[in-house]
């Protein structure tokens, strides 16, 4: 019996092939058997998907007879990333923050209740905590995400929060929707957001929003680093600089009137 929830145009084989790619991206190199185990496929089906993806150039077989993604996947990702002109616009401002604070600088794009890391400049310090370009994280427990969520129209924010369960990721993740709304109100008032070990233990971030031409907070920039270096005094210095940078970008990228004042 067909699954009534699936649309008439849903192609099961395409879905499974996509899941194979996502699995290899997450797990690295895997054998045919391991792919089958992770995705609930039989070994023959797993082999057919991998063989097809190999023929298309998306995966390759190494000396240990395990399959791994090729750079063709990276090429697709880079072509998509290059569509975000904000990366070019933001780069000089990110470099300015990098030189000033020597910490990791992130550029994020809010996609629903997730933050997609569009670009970053790695910390100049030996000890650093980085999120790879292309990775995603929950918006509600990151400075990048909260900086964007806080300035959404109330009806849009309500829809997003009503459909999510707040799960703990770090020791200080906000898991109460009431407390999260209070936090977002505070962010609206002060113009910047802080992640104080909400996403991961030992990680702190300071972020501010960037408004696009519609006046919506599509993007954000953060300065991230170990909690031992991002003290309260240091974060006060960072928030002023991040707000200033994001205000300039909002004026260039969006509506001048929506820039967050320093």
Q: Is 173 helix (H, G, I), strand (E, B) or coil?
A: coil
Query: What CA–CA distance (Å, rounded) separates 238 from 14?
Result: 46
Buried b (16+ CB within 10 A) or exposed e, 24-40: beeeebbbbeebbebee
Which residue from 222, 43, 31, 16 is spatially nearest to 120, judged by alpha carbons? 222
Which CATH number is associated with domain 12-76? Answer: 1.10.10.10
Question: For residue 257, what pLDDT band results from cuts at 50, 70 and 90?
Answer: very low
Long-range contacts of 123-129 (CB under 8 A, 24+ apart): 123/225, 124/98, 125/225, 125/229, 127/226, 128/103, 128/104, 128/225, 128/226, 129/104, 129/200, 129/202, 129/203, 129/224, 129/225, 129/226
Task: Find the angle CA(149)-CA(150)-CA(151) to the nearest 5 degrees.
Answer: 95
Which CATH number is associated with domain 84-258? Answer: 3.30.450.40
Instruction: Pinpoint the residues of the chain covered by CATH 1.10.10.10.
Output: 12-76
Which residues lie closer than 8 Å to 114 by C-beta, 6 or more apart? 136, 137, 138, 139, 145
| C-beta of residue 98 within 8 angstroms of C-beta of residue 127 | no
Q: What is the pLDDT of residue 1?
A: 40
Winning range, highest mean pLDDT, from 8-12, 69-73, 105-109:
105-109
**Tens of pLDDT, residues 60-90:** 888 788 888 887 776 676 666 555 678 888 9
- For the segment 16-43, the average pLDDT, to the nearest whole number, is 85
3-class SS string, 137-153:
EEHHHCHHHHHHHCCCC
**Tens of pLDDT, residues 149-203:** 999 999 999 999 988 899 999 999 999 999 999 999 999 999 999 999 999 999 9
Return the structure tokens found at 199: 């996403």
Instruction: State CA 126 to chain mean position distance.
Output: 23
Instruction: Pinpoint the residues of the chain covered by CATH 3.30.450.40.
Output: 84-258
């Amino acid at each position: 019996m067909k699954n009534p929830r699936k649309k008439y145009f849903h192609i099961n084989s395409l879905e499974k092939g996509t899941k194979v790619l996502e699995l290899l991206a997450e797990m690295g190199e895997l054998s045919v058997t391991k792919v089958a185990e992770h995705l609930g496929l039989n070994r023959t089906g797993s082999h057919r998907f991998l063989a097809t993806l190999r023929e298309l150039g998306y995966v390759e077989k190494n000396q240990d007879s395990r399959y791994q993604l090729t750079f063709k996947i990276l090429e697709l990702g880079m072509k998509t990333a290059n569509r975000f002109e904000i990366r070019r616009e933001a780069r000089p401002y990110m470099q300015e923050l990098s030189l000033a604070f020597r910490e990791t600088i992130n550029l994020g794009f809010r996609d629903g209740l997730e933050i997609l890391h569009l670009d970053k400049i790695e910390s100049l310090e030996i000890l650093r905590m980085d999120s790879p370009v292309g990775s995603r994280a929950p918006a509600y427990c990151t400075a990048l995400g909260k900086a964007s969520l806080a300035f959404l129209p109330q009806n849009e924010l309500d829809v997003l929060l009503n459909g999510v369960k707040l799960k703990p990721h770090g020791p200080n993740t906000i898991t109460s929707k009431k407390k999260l709304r209070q936090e977002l109100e505070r962010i609206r008032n002060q113009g910047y957001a802080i992640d104080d070990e909400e996403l991961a233990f030992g990680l702190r971030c300071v972020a501010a929003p960037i408004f696009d031409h519609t006046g919506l907070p599509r993007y954000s920039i953060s300065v991230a680093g170990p909690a031992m270096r991002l003290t309260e005094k240091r974060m006060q210095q960072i928030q002023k600089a991040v707000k200033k940078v994001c205000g300039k970008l909002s004026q260039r990228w969006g509506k001048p009137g929506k820039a967050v004042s320093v």
